[in-house]
């Protein structure tokens, strides 16, 4: 799966979990500061990414990911 596909799916998941329009989600948007995610929603994002991509991520490391571009890179590691 190429990075553009991963990015599109990441943005779709973020839009669903945070009730946003995908067009509002910039590639470098910070989950907390730009998109308004709280700690509960951050956990929901991790779970939703795992479900979307059928992967199991290291939760502590996943919660350290702060923006969309980093999430794409982080998830892509699990898809290689």
Is the pTM higher than 0.85? yes
Q: Which of 21, 27, 34, 38 is catalytic?
A: 38
Helix (H), strand (E), coil (C) string for 37-66: CCHHHHHHHHHHHHHHHCCCCCHHHHHHCC
Known catalytic membership, residue 27: no
Give how many domains the chain has, as a whole number.
Answer: 1
Residue range(s) defining the domain that contains residue 52: 3-79
The span from the CA of 72 to the CA of 40, in Å, is: 20
Residue 71's CATH number: 1.10.1200.10
Q: Does 68 have pLDDT greater than 90?
A: yes
pLDDT digits (tens, 9 = 90+) for 5-24: 999 999 999 999 999 999 99
Q: Does 80 have pLDDT greater than 90?
A: no
């Amino acid at each position: 799966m190429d990075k553009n596909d991963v990015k599109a799916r990441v943005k779709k998941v973020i839009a669903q979990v945070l009730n946003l329009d995908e067009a509002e989600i910039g590639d470098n948007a910070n989950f907390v500061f730009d998109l308004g995610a709280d700690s509960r929603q951050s956990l929901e994002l991790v779970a939703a990414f795992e479900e979307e991509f059928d992967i199991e991520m290291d939760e502590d490391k996943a919660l350290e990911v702060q923006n969309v571009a980093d999430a794409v890179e982080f998830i892509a590691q699990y898809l290689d």
